[in-house]
Amino acid sequence: MPFPRFRDRTTKVDVDFPAKVDATQISEEVLPSIEGDSEEEEAPVILENTSWKRHIWDTWGHPDKRHVKVIFKLDITLLALSSISTFIRYLDRINLSYAYVNGMKEDLGIVGNQLNYANTGYSIAGMVFGFPWAILMVKMNSKWFVVMVELFWIILTFSFSAVKTPTQMVALRTLVGAFESAHYPALSFILGTYYTSGELARRNVILQSSTSIGSFFGGYVASGTYTGLNGVNGRAGWRWVFIIDGVISLGIIVPQILFFADRLSNRKPDLIMSAADIAYLKERKPDQKEDKYHFTLKDFFTAAFSLEVWAFWGFGIFQDLASLDSSAYLLWLKAWNKIKPGSYTYSQIDHYGSILYAVQTVIALSSGWISDTLCRGRRWPPIVVAGTVTFVVCIILGSTPVYPENRAFRFFLYLNTTWSLATAGLYWAWAQEFFVDNLKMRAITTGGIDIGSFAAEVIANNIWYKTSKMPKITAGYYISGVNGALYSLDALALGLWEAHKKRRHGQ
C-alpha cells in the first residue's frame, strides 16, 4: 500500500508514514524537530548592523530600533553606574597618595617605607580574597555583591579621616584592599555577560578609563579640599580629603540599589528591563540562558594547569609591574623642592599629577575603539603597541638623570608611563570573550587576574619601588621596561594561538 508524504518543516526532507498512524505514534525523532522549529519562530530576530556609523558607536545606524532601545537602556544603567562607581573607587584609592604629599606624612610621622607597607597590605588582602570573591560574585545576586563591597569601602574611607598613627594607616589600607579587590573583576564579569564581542571592548575601556578619570579628578579634589578646608574645625586638609571622597561615594549607592543589574543569566524583570528585553539579550548571548556556576576543586585544578588561563593571569602581573614606575611621578615633583626649594606648591603637584591620568584616559579610549573597529575585534594589537612604548619609555627613564637641567623631557616620559595600564580594559574584555563557552573558567580567570597583579606588587614594591628611594629607582625603571616587553609578548603569543584555534575550527 502506498505511503502518504509528510514534509518536515525543519529539515526540508520528505518523511514516510503509514497511512493510518495515530498522532501519538509519530516518531520521537520527528516531533522534536517540529517543536524546536516552533520555538525558533518565537525567538527574537537578531539583525546585523552594517552601517559605517557602527565604527563610532555600535548602535548607531542599527536597523533594529528595538535593539537600539534595549542596548541604550543597558548602557545608561549598567555601563554608566559601573563607570561611575569605578570612578569613585579610584577617587578613594588615589586619595592616600595625594594625602601623603599634602601633609599626611609629616602629621603622622610616616618614615621610611611605611607607605609601602600600607600598599603591601592592600595587595596581600587582594591576593587572599581574590578567588573567594570570584566564587561569591556568582553564588549570590551580583548586584547586591557589588553594593555590599562598595558600602564597606566607603566606611573605611571615612575612617581614614580619623587615623592617628602609621600603624592605623597600614591596617585600614589592608582592609580597603580586601573589599576593593572584588569590585573591578565583578563589574568586568557582569559586563561580559551582556555585551557581544563587537561591543565589549569599547565599554570595557570606558570602565577602565573611569579608573584614570577618578585618579585625574582626585588631584583637583585634593587640591581644592586642602586649599579651602585646611584647618577647618581643627582638621588638616588631607583629613578633609577622605571625608569629601566618602560623601561623594555615598551618592552612587541609591542609584545602584534601584537600577544596577545582576548578571544576565540570573536577571529578572525589573524597573529597567522587561521579560522580553531580557529574552532578547539572552538570545544574543546563548551562554547566558542558564545560570550554571557550580564550582568544584577540579575546576580550579583545570584552570591552574591551563596555559590559556595563565596567559591572562600573566597580563595582570606584567601590566602591573610595567606600570609601577608611574608612582614615582608625584614624588619626583615633590622632590624638586629639595633640589630647588619652592619649585612646586602642593596645589601644583596635585594639578600636574592629574595630567598623567588625562593621558591614560586618552590612550585607553583610543585603544578600545581601535580594537573594536580597525582591528576587527582583535585585542592583542593595541596591547602589543602599549607594551612596546612602555619598554622604550622605562629604559630611557632608567638611563637618564633623575633631575636634569631641562625637566620637560623627563616630564614627558613620566606622562607616558601608563600605556600598559591604559590597555588593561582590553585583556579584561578578552578574558570574557576567550572563555565564552566555559562560564566557570571565565569566572576563575577573571578572579585570578588581580591576584597576579597583587602578588607582583607585594614582591616588587618592597624591593625596587621603595617610597624612601623614589624617584631614584633605577632598577625599578628597568624592571618596568622588561615587563612592558613581556606584556607585549604575552599578547602576541595569545593572539596567534587564538587565531590558530579559530582557523582549526573553521571560524
Query: 28-52, pLDDT tens digit by residue?
Result: 444 344 344 444 445 566 667 667 6
DSSP lists the bridge partners of residue 7 as 14
Q: Which set of grid coordinates corresponds to residue 481?
A: 621596561
> What secondary structure, in 3-state letters, does 80-133 show?
HHHHHHHHHHHHHHHHHHHHHHHHHHHHHCCCCCHHHHHHHHHHHHHHHHHHHH
Q: What is the pLDDT of residue 507?
A: 60
Backbone angles phi, psi at 373, to 5 degrees: -110, -75
Fold of 65-504: Growth Hormone; Chain: A; (1.20.1250)
User: How wide is the angle at C-alpha 93 spanned by C-alphas 239 and 119, nearest 5°?
Assistant: 95
Q: 198 or 75: whose pLDDT is higher?
A: 75
Q: Is residue 102 within 8 Å of residue 241, measured between CB atoms? A: yes
Q: What is the pLDDT of residue 489?
A: 97
Give 9's pLDDT tier (boundaries 50, 70, 90): very low
Read off the pLDDT of each residue in 56-74 and give the average, rounded to a whole number. Answer: 87
User: Could you tell me how far CA 46 lies from the centroid of its own chain?
Assistant: 28
391 has a pLDDT exceeding 90: yes
Q: 176 or 205: whose pLDDT is higher?
A: 176
Read off the pLDDT of each residue in 261-279 and give the average, rounded to a whole number. Answer: 91
Q: What is the pLDDT of residue 37?
A: 44
What is the three-class DSSP state of 6?
strand
Element (H, E) at 14: strand 14-16
Residue 381: CB atoms within 10 Å: 18
63 has a pLDDT exceeding 90: no
Give 288's pLDDT tier (boundaries 50, 70, 90): confident
Residues in the chain: 507
Cα dihedral 227, 229, 235, 240 sign: negative
What is the three-class DSSP state of 7?
strand
Q: For a pLDDT cut of 70, what percent of the chain falls above it?
A: 89
Read off the pLDDT of each residue in 409-428 and give the average, rounded to a whole number. Answer: 93
- 178-224 pLDDT tens trace: 898 888 888 988 998 899 877 887 888 888 888 878 877 877 788 78
Q: What is the pLDDT of residue 433?
A: 86
Cα dihedral 7, 10, 15, 17 sign: negative
324 has a pLDDT exceeding 80: yes
Q: Which residue has the cell 522549529?
A: 37
Q: For a pLDDT cut of 90, what percent of the chain falls above it?
A: 33
What is the three-class DSSP state of 29?
coil
Domain boundaries, the chain: 5-37, 65-504
Task: Please report, as a single letter, which amino acid is at residue 69.
Answer: K
Read off the pLDDT of each residue in 440-455 and give the average, rounded to a whole number. Answer: 84
Longest alpha-carbon distance in the chain: 109
Query: Which among 380, 377, 382, 391 has a CA at the least distance from the CA of 362?
Result: 382
Q: What is the pLDDT of residue 387?
A: 97
Q: What is the pLDDT of residue 221?
A: 81
DSSP lists the bridge partners of residue 5 as 16
Read off the pLDDT of each residue in 235-257 and give the average, rounded to a whole number. Answer: 88
Q: What is the pLDDT of residue 45?
A: 63
pTM attached to this predicted model? 0.73
Q: Which set of grid coordinates corresponds to residue 225?
A: 579640599
Round the average pLDDT of the chain to a whole number and report it: 84
Q: What is the pLDDT of residue 467?
A: 80
CA distance 112 to 109: 10
